[in-house]
Structure 1
């Protein structure tokens, strides 16, 4: 069985608008400009697309698993069902510790095992240092999107998903 290359994608701030608070209502879930085009380019170049997202609002009782699944169904509809798989961590240290929660890497490890991924040919694109830390734990190259994180970074930075695709992945 051959190995597959993959793009791991954080959700909020990479695929949909980061609101600074939990995004779980469909009318608040806004897919960012250029996301569908970016995913189409990546698929054309043979990448599997896998979302890995912390959803701590479930553990905190702010929203339900069903709310998250509804947002993910909307995301798939808006991007033409290009995403191959979606993993989310419903835990938060205030209620339960979990190795699924980024910066830990269990969501990515599960995807690697399920999809037979080649980590040397894969990337993690996120808007937080914890996304990059999760990628490093499994040997995947990380790319940081946006300006949320300040200070010295150990990963390349891009303005958007489309910028990351053109400047760091499909060169």
Structure 2
């Protein structure tokens, strides 16, 4: 069984504009992210991004634009992210358990990569990110910013770089 760090995208890996981030010129990887991901990878963690991309359901952008942003992120991080899962749904248009706080995308990754949830972490900047991981017993780290706090998280930090020592200290 493998251990994994699941990551939300906007606000964790790249700058969150407060609206949808889908244009390459607006997609900026946050300071310290490539180094933080490299540390996690070197410690033996799989890296899986799980992100809601509701703008697709709303017709604001396409899967191809989301994938182009993911390609840009991979390029900035040396291609070390193992997988990207995104939910193109929004409750005003279509319902899906694949959208966080649903756990379907986590379950797909767990099955595909033989991940042990008990040795895994979720890092997100919204309560729904942490809530989605809880039924699977994946530990949560909340990045403060978009929301002020998250009672369900084991830790609250200001950045991915601050989360890494907490995870590595748990090995």
TM-score range, shorter chain: over 0.9
Counterparts of 2:71 and 2:145 in 1: how far apart (Å)?
A: 28
Cα pair 2:33 2:161 within 8 Å, conserved:
yes
1:159 aligned partner? 158
Q: Is the CA contact (8 Å cut-off) linking 1:104 and 1:137 kept in structure 2?
A: no
In 2 relative to 1, CA 43–152 (structure 1 residues): closer, same or farther, beyond 3 Å? closer
What is the match of residue 56 of structure 1? Answer: 54
Q: Does the C-alpha gap of structure 1 residues 108 and 152 become closer, same or farther in structure 2, counting only changes over 3 Å?
A: closer
The TM-score normalised by the length of structure 1 is 0.96
Partner residue, 1:90 = 88
Stretches of structure 1 lacking an aligned partner (at least 5 in a row):
none
Unaligned runs of 5+ in 2: none
Note if contact 1:144-1:158 (Cα within 8 Å) is conserved in structure 2: yes
- Report whether the alignment pairs 1:127 with 2:128: no
1:128-149 CA-to-partner distances (Å, cap 9, x unmatched) read 0000100102110010012222
Write the mapping of 1:1-171 to structure 2, written as runs, cut at 5 A. Answer: 3-151=1-149, 153-155=151-153, 156-166=155-165, 168-171=166-169
Please say if residues 53 and 87 of structure 1, whose CA atoms lie closer than 8 Å, have aligned partners that are also in contact: yes
Q: Is the 8 A contact 1:123 1:140 kept in 2?
A: yes
Aligned residues: 168
Normalised by the length of structure 2, the TM-score is 0.96
Task: Render the CA deviation track for 1:110-137: whole Å, top value 9, x for unaligned.
Answer: 0000000011100000000000100102
Structure 2: how far apart are the matches of 1:119 and 1:111? 10
Deviation beyond 3 Å, 4+ runs, structure 1: none
Structure 2: how far apart are the matches of 1:29 and 1:8? 20
1:124/1:135 contact within 8 Å kept: yes
CA distance in structure 1 between the partners assigned to 2:35 and 2:131 by the alignment: 27
